[in-house]
Structure 1
Amino acid sequence: MYKSAHIDTFTRDNLPSEDQWPELTFTLPALNYPERLNAAAALLASGAPDAPAILWADGAWTYAELTTEASRIAHVLTADMGLVPGGRVLLRGRNTPMMLAAWYGVLLAGGVVVATMPLLRAPELVTICNKAEITLALSENSLMDELAVAAKLTHSKLKIMGFGDKGAELEAHMKNKPANFTPVATAQDDVALLAFTSGTTGQPKACIHFHRDVLIMADTYAAEVVKPDASDIFSGSPPIAFTFGLGGLVVFPARFGAAVALPSGPSAEAFMDTIERHGVTIIFTAPTAYRAMLGQMEGRNLSSLRRCISAGETLPEATYHAWYAETGLKLMDGIGATEMIHIFISAPYDAIRPGSTGTPVPGYEACVQDDDGTILTPPATGRLAVKGPTGCRYMADDRQRTYVQGGWNITGDTYHQSEDGYFTFIARSDDMIVSSGYNIGGPEVEAALLAHDAVAECAVIGVPDADRGQIVKAFVVAAKGYEGDAALAATLQAHVKNTIAPYKYPRAIEFIDELPKTQTGKLQRFKLRG
């Protein structure tokens, strides 16, 4: 490892030991980065100063203007909030220009970005703050309520500055700050991001990514598969707290000097408005969103599009064909993971095979293995294993040994590998529920349900759904004195929405007399799946 620029060494101190890391391979010449590398500075320097960087319904910033905003935020963080290199900064906001500027500002100042989903509730934010020992946060004012509650419950005092509307504290502090900030000369393997991912145990895992990893996802997948240039305009719906959204809406546009157009909201209508208004050429979203747009095509002109990337959940072949029939464009499927930072299997536009995810992204290699780690000779079906220039590094988490085995990243997916090297998704091989592109750990939903007095026992699984891929379904044993009926189901759904992020709530609840278990009392989920 290179000499770190971090004064606060918490993240580096909590890396897994190097013998638990996956094997890292840097086979592409583009990945030969200098020892000192600040990802934000490199990205901001990629665009021409007067070229558009961020577009939205009410305005636009050039790269020069974005750099100024990010620089002023970096000054606020260091001069007014006490950030030192290596300190973690929680970001809480929707995909807005200020949220993106804040992301850049933290990295320019040598901080570690901890971006969070806008829908997270206070208990979830407390867990993240405590695990990452966060003391600084920038939050959109409209999302401040849950964070304010969390701040009272965290182990460390949390200093919060709000942004995003007239008179907001962050913008007020920025007014008199210099327009230039000298980026901290971080090492290429200094930590840039802590990306939290839902786990099947319900305890979030913090994935550690370096400054070089931020650029690697652009210099592998984007450069070799998407192949954008400075004339492109990107857009998408995933929050930048998802590394899928971070790549598609922040890193990829900037790396190629292109622009990103930000939708005003999460709806299909807002997304399509943005595509039409700005002449968007490349979009990133989940299959659920493509299906939603298909239902609203009348009167729309999406002819500016040239690349449509789908990830976050498996792409149904029917959705692929419906989109192609409507637009004449192929959907570019891909699989990525928060642990890997972005997509590692996909196919270039002219090599897409409907129904298949694709082939390893240049720079990565993949195989299928049996449960003992033996690589299977294709055609074969088994556990998907992948390695390349990025890989899993969980922060202070014993689950590192499960995800990384024999130098390979074991993704938790079962795949079929064809004789000619195409990978086709079969199923998740763990209990992760993937609904509308969101990863939802069943045990977290179970814990929320069990916090209600009406629930004696429960179990949560994912069940197929035509619109969302999967939905969360809960099997509930009602506590004594409670009637398992529609009214109680509605009460429990509301309870979960108010306890954890609303998108995690069980859309279906079935009341049963007892859960299926082994003689030793272990839950038999396979029986619930039928």
Structure 2
Amino acid sequence: MNRSAHTDRFVIDNLPPPEQWPDLVFERPELQFPEQLNATTELLDHAVAEGHGDRPAVMGKGIRWTYRELQEQVSRLAHLLVEDMRLEPGNRVLLRGANTPWLAAAWLAVWKAGGVAVGTMPLLRAKELKDIATLGRVSHALCDANLAEELKIARADCPMLREVLYYGEGTDLPARLARKPAHFDTVPTAATDPALIGFTSGTTGVPKGTIHFHRDVMAMCEVFPRHCLQPGQDDVFVGTPPLAFTFGLGCLLCFPLWARASTVLLEKLAPEALLGAIKEYGVTICVTSPTGYRQMASLVGQHGVPSLKKCVSAGEALPTDTRERWREVTGIRIHDGIGGTEMIHIYIASGPEDYRPGAVGKLLPGYRGMIVDDDMNPLPPGDVGKLAIKGPTGCRYLADSRQKNYVRDGWNLPGDAFHMDEDGYFYYHARIDDIIVTSGYNVSSPEVEWALLAHPAVAECGVIGVPDPDRGQIIKAFVVLKPGHFGTDTMTKTLQDFVKQTVAPYKYPRAIRYVETLPRTETGKLQRFRLKEIN
């Protein structure tokens, strides 16, 4: 029987009721995990014990840590969390920072100390941080000093957030860590102890916290990297997804450590900077969005990528022309995949050897899937319907009634429309709900609407996603202005800047159309589907 190490049982006690859980499948031998399991032990401590201590593990600006050096930093930070910040197993720790080796150490230290990591996107504003901290009853935070301002504002409304540690330039963290022991006895967590809460936007704009166990962290390592990407010890990873995004957490931290490879963690990797990093660090595996590959394709000739061997795309649909253009300029066929925060990582994917034009790929070993209608009846090959998935991971929302919408009859329903061919290849069509996927970010239409409505010139508004060749979709707003205000270019820039200051900047509407009225039902509900018709 699993012996939980969590003395703070808030997350465990707020898991969905068992009857609302998805069916979990652990048929494959690599998915047979012991009852007691800690992700940091598996990913880091065992690597050192196996003789990899002197191999490079994590690199970044001014930092090149071996596995042993990373282990020592993680252990010292775990001591600081427990001794100075009074962290108890099960406490939630908000992590706020751009991709750096120190953020990687923070993730691993929280797990080693038995805490529950709550990753947050660097661009989130105070309101969004407050919502996450409140929903997760976050008691601790590790924050990059460069991103302190918004957290300090949020903290004023979060009395439960009692301990905050700032790291990075100008802080005394290195001196404090130097006084701590280089060894920490890992908290003996159960495989089913929560390791992280991944917050994702919902269609109502209220974030949903997705709970994943230590077992789930290791399960994602035993699926996509083992059976599709197949990294080796000499590989060097780099990419753009934040570690707060489970796609980034897997591809840029967990997968490299699982493979005993190394990872490069850098801030603000624009296309040209990413290409420069590939050359500087001898990167062999690149991870970014289709948008990133589209933008880099025209720059490859100027930089060259002689060391690059493999590329991974996820976060949004990968257009065939982007895949082919990247192959033309680099000779590399992209590994494509689809996953989600609720499932922790990729469950359908294709590598260069099994790619079929237009398809995302096939189910990865360990997962089952089908296409269903609204009544959960399986549909035949070629028919478009809802994707249903089950496997070793699945959706468990933190105290959220929307759990029953995501899981039906033991199946996870990610909200995507697909069809499957007779050979088991899955073809993506669209999102079913009102989430806009732009440049790999999920954005809630109502959340942008609320931000616009806070401006004194806006009477009504509706927000949708519209197709865009570079970003997959862009956010478009239909705005009814109050009397005395006019839909000029100046007004458009004013509203865009206002949204950027209210919520994360990537959520601002890149297109605004001014209208006299919005389509609504008799009860006053906005009909977004009709906005798409008049687009």
Same-fold call, TM > 0.5?
Answer: yes
Separation in 2, partners of 1:372, 1:310: 32
Separation in 1, partners of 2:186, 2:39: 10
Paired position in structure 2 for 1:46: 47
Q: Does 1:293 align with 2:285?
A: no
Query: Aligned to 1:519, what secondary structure does the other structure show?
Result: coil
1:221 offset after TM fit, Å? 1.1
1:57 offset after TM fit, Å? 4.3
2:228 alignment partner AA: V
The answer to whether the 8 A contact 1:46-1:256 is kept is: no
Separation in 2, partners of 1:505, 1:262: 27
Q: Does 1:222 align with 2:225?
A: yes
1:56 offset after TM fit, Å? 2.4
Paired position in structure 1 for 2:276: 273
Paired position in structure 1 for 2:97: 93
Separation in 2, partners of 1:262, 1:162: 19
Question: 1:389-409: CA deviations, max 9, x gaps?
Answer: 000000000000000011110
Separation in 2, partners of 1:325, 1:157: 51
TM-score (normalizing by structure 1): 0.98
Question: 1:404-425: CA deviations, max 9, x gaps?
Answer: 0111100110001001100010
Paired position in structure 1 for 2:444: 441
In structure 1, runs of 5+ residues without a counterpart are none
Matches within 5 A, 1:166-205: 166=170, 168-205=171-208
2:2 alignment partner AA: Y
Q: Percent identity?
A: 51
Q: Does 1:480 align with 2:520?
A: no
Q: Does 1:56 align with 2:60?
A: yes
Matches within 5 A, 1:396-407: 396-407=399-410
2:289 alignment partner AA: A
Separation in 1, partners of 2:393, 2:62: 37
The answer to whether the 8 A contact 1:72-1:181 is kept is: yes
Separation in 2, partners of 1:375, 1:169: 58
Paired position in structure 1 for 2:129: 125
1:275 offset after TM fit, Å? 0.7
Q: Which of 104, 107, 112 matches 2:111? A: 107
- Relative to structure 1, the CA distance from residue 149 to residue 264 in structure 2 (aligned partners, 3 Å threshold; closer, same or farther) is closer
Matches within 5 A, 1:247-396: 247-396=250-399
The answer to whether the 8 A contact 1:476-1:512 is kept is: yes
Which stretch has the larger CA shift, 422-431 or 170-179? 170-179
1:234 alignment partner AA: F
1:59 offset after TM fit, Å? 3.2
1:155 offset after TM fit, Å? 4.1
1:279 offset after TM fit, Å? 1.3
Q: Does 1:4 align with 2:8?
A: no
Question: 1:141-181: CA deviations, max 9, x gaps?
Answer: 00000000000012424321110114x14333212000000
Q: Does 1:162 align with 2:166?
A: yes
Separation in 2, partners of 1:187, 1:265: 36
Which stretch has the larger CA shift, 146-155 or 333-342? 146-155
The answer to whether the 8 A contact 2:334-2:351 is kept is: no
The answer to whether the 8 A contact 2:63-2:101 is kept is: no
Separation in 2, partners of 1:170, 1:139: 11
Separation in 2, partners of 1:145, 1:111: 24
Give runs of ≥4 in structure 1 deviating > 3 Å: none
1:332 offset after TM fit, Å? 1.3
CA RMSD of aligned residues (A): 1.1
In structure 2, runs of 5+ residues without a counterpart are none
Query: Aligned to 1:196, what secondary structure does the other structure show?
Result: strand
The answer to whether the 8 A contact 1:248-1:284 is kept is: yes
The answer to whether the 8 A contact 1:262-1:274 is kept is: no
Q: How many residues align?
A: 529
TM-score (normalizing by structure 2): 0.97
Paired position in structure 1 for 2:472: 469
The answer to whether the 8 A contact 1:161-1:169 is kept is: no
1:240 offset after TM fit, Å? 0.4
- Relative to structure 1, the CA distance from residue 72 to residue 188 in structure 2 (aligned partners, 3 Å threshold; closer, same or farther) is same
